[in-house]
Structure 1
């Protein structure tokens, strides 16, 4: 009986770790597309009902904004070719419950190699037949 319980415990543990790895890979693929300005790759990781929001913290006050997926993809496609940017993810804190996952990812953002701002991303994902899809992304931005 103890062996059966131990085996079940180990199987659920490995399954949970595998799901977390899948969620992390989805987010990494999103950022691969983001850094390459590849809107098709970005879109492949997102739900058609994606919600994008940001909270900017500045000396002039805080600002909350919402962007449509179409606006986001157009902005990505129109970034000048000579502008390089990198969002460095510092860590992943991923929680999974069945077909829903949440990932908290602190980051630093660089433009042409120069530090721009930092904050945290909060991703909510839904598991579909095709894999994990990002359904909500909200981030904070601080200088």
Structure 2
């Protein structure tokens, strides 16, 4: 009986870790596409019903905004080649419950090597035909 319980705990413990690794890989693939301005790669990680939202924080007040996925992808495709940017993910805190996952990822954002802003991303994902897809992304932005 003890061996059965131990095997059960090991299987589900490793299964949970594997799911978290898959969620993290989806987010990493999203950022690979983001940094390369590769809209096809970005789109491959997202649901067709993706919701994109941001909260910009400043001494003058906070601003909440929403962007349509089509607008986001178009803006990515139109960034000039000489503009380089990097969103450095500082850590991943991933929680999984069956077919839904949430990832909290603090970040720092750089444009042409210069610090621009920092904040946190909050990703919600679900499993669609065996693949994790991003269905909601909201971030905070502060100088």
TM-score (norm 1): 0.99
Task: Report deviation, 1:86.
Answer: 0.1
- 1:14-53 paired onto structure 2 within 5 Å: 14-53=14-53
Offset of residue 129 of structure 1: 1.0
Give, in angstroms, the shift of residue 84 of structure 1: 0.2
TM-score (norm 2): 0.99
Runs of 5+ consecutive residues of structure 2 not aligned to the other structure: none
Cross-structure match for 1:101: 101
Runs of 4+ aligned residues of structure 1 deviating over 4 Å after TM superposition are none
Post-superposition Cα deviations, 1:31-63, rounded to whole Å, max 9, x if no partner, equal 000000000000000000000000000122100
Does structure 1 residue 72 correspond to structure 2 residue 96?
no
Give the Cα–Cα distance (whole angstroms) in 2 for the partners of residues 44 and 7 of structure 1. Answer: 35
- Give the Cα–Cα distance (whole angstroms) in 1 for the partners of residues 129 and 74 of structure 2: 27
Unaligned runs of 5+ in 1: none
* Other-structure match for 1:132: 132
Question: What is the aligned residue count?
Answer: 143
Matched with 1:2 is 2
